[in-house]
Structure 1
Amino acid sequence: MTEGGPPAGDRRVRRTHAALQGALIRLVEDRELSQISVADVAERAGVSRSTFYDHYRDVHELAEAACTGMIDELVEVMTALGGDPETGDPIESLQTFFAALAEYASLYRSLLGPQGSARVIDHIRRRMAAAGLKRSTGKSAATPDDPHNVPAAFVAGALVGVATDWLQRDCVHTPSEMAILTWPILSACHFDAHAPAHRPRP
């Protein structure tokens, strides 16, 4: 272990993961995920098949890791969705979100579709809900006062649902059009959900 840094083994693992995920992402640009084999990924990454299996069970598990990693980065650009002008333009953030999905549409379509990955879908919903709640309240998604924040979960689920439907329809609208179509709905859901609740009459 070098002074002030992670063990050399950890660095090698991270480099291998990055190489395999990068290889898969490049392959997905040219073909559907279902058409990509372990051999294809290993060859593109410059590693052996046995090295692949040292880290992932199959291409689908690798795709899940690559997808969640990209989503984690993408959530960072969604900070404007709270509607605060100091954090940026929500339309621009949504356009960036949809453009990123479109760039790797084959990967996301496979993992978010009917036969996709429940783990990836749940990961996206949780990360977006956590980011949305933190923007609007300054608190993390899970607090003792509110372990299940319904508005944040609702908005995150709605955005994932719209994005999934758009991908399954071959991205019929441009990312810019999707941002313009989606923001008024998300904004209304977000701000209406935080309005004072009307108590039912006894």
Structure 2
Amino acid sequence: MPGLHSPKPQRYSPSDEPRITRTRDALEAGLWELLRDHELAEISVAALCRQAGVHRTTFYGHHRNIFDFAGSVYAGVVDRLGTVELDQRGTGRTIAEIGDLYVESIRQIVQHTKAEQRVYRALFHTETFLGILADQLNVRILLALHVWRAHNVPPPALDLDATAAFLGGAYASWFEQWVVSDDDDVEARLATLRYLLPCWWPRDGFPEA
């Protein structure tokens, strides 16, 4: 998986059980290696486990198939790219600065998903990945909504949980449409969000259409 956008194995907290962490890291590293020369659909669980030095029984104890595992890995990559280093109140930042940070995180996801287009196309053809991705985005959006609320941006009566769930699904579908298309203009894609976000959401950082 060449290029600047190659994902890195996910890091875990020190409280995680070391053996599980080592196994997960080995499987992730094995997946990245196999994807250098193979399409996702060509990779079997047996091949991945041989590459990672992990027993198949261990793999099936946590995942149903190769697509299930790859989906969790790639959704984790999107989640990490979508992480913005702010506390829950966006302390010390202006609305414009916060907006720039969020737009940059979306830009990184857009760049990454296009760079890894062949894998994401395969994942979006499964029955589960869209929902997995929506759940990950839901969490990130809810955190953003709490930051905006601390800056008095959303209407006071807005239900943040319901809004995050709605926008998480919308964002996931927006990324899916981007991945399955042949378009590669990242800035033009970002500019479409100026018209798709709720009217109260700050437009700072988004390119002009």
User: TM-score, length-normalised on structure 1?
Assistant: 0.68
Relative to 1, partners in 2 of residues 1:156 and 1:115: Cα closer, same or farther, differing over 3 Å?
closer
Equivalent of 1:190, from 180, 194, 198? Answer: 198
Can you give the 5+ residue segments of structure 1 that lack an aligned partner in the other structure? 140-144, 195-202
Matched, 1:176 2:187: yes
Can you give the 5+ residue segments of structure 2 that lack an aligned partner in the other structure? 1-13, 152-157, 203-209
The structural deviation recorded for 1:135 is 2.7
The structural deviation recorded for 1:147 is 6.4
Equivalent of 1:105, from 117, 120, 124? Answer: 117
Q: 2:134·2:168 contact (CA, 8 Å) conserved in 1? A: no
Amino acid at match of 1:149: A
Equivalent of 1:87, from 98, 117, 122? Answer: 98
Bigger relative contact order (CA 8 A; separation at least 6)? 2
CA displacement, residues 38-59 of structure 1 (integer Å, 9 cap, x when unaligned): 1221122233334433443321
CA distance in 1, matches of 2:79, 2:109: 12
Q: 2:30·2:52 contact (CA, 8 Å) conserved in 1? A: yes
CA displacement, residues 37-83 of structure 1 (integer Å, 9 cap, x when unaligned): 11221122233334433443321221132123223212204979xx9
Q: 1:32·1:107 contact (CA, 8 Å) conserved in 2? A: yes
SS in 2 for 1:57: coil
User: TM-score, length-normalised on structure 2?
Assistant: 0.67
Matched with 1:200 is none
Q: Percent identity?
A: 27
Relative to 1, partners in 2 of residues 1:28 and 1:120: Cα closer, same or farther, differing over 3 Å?
farther
Higher Rg = 1
Matched with 2:159 is 146
Report matched runs for 1:51-62 at 5 Å: 51-62=58-69
Aligned residues: 177
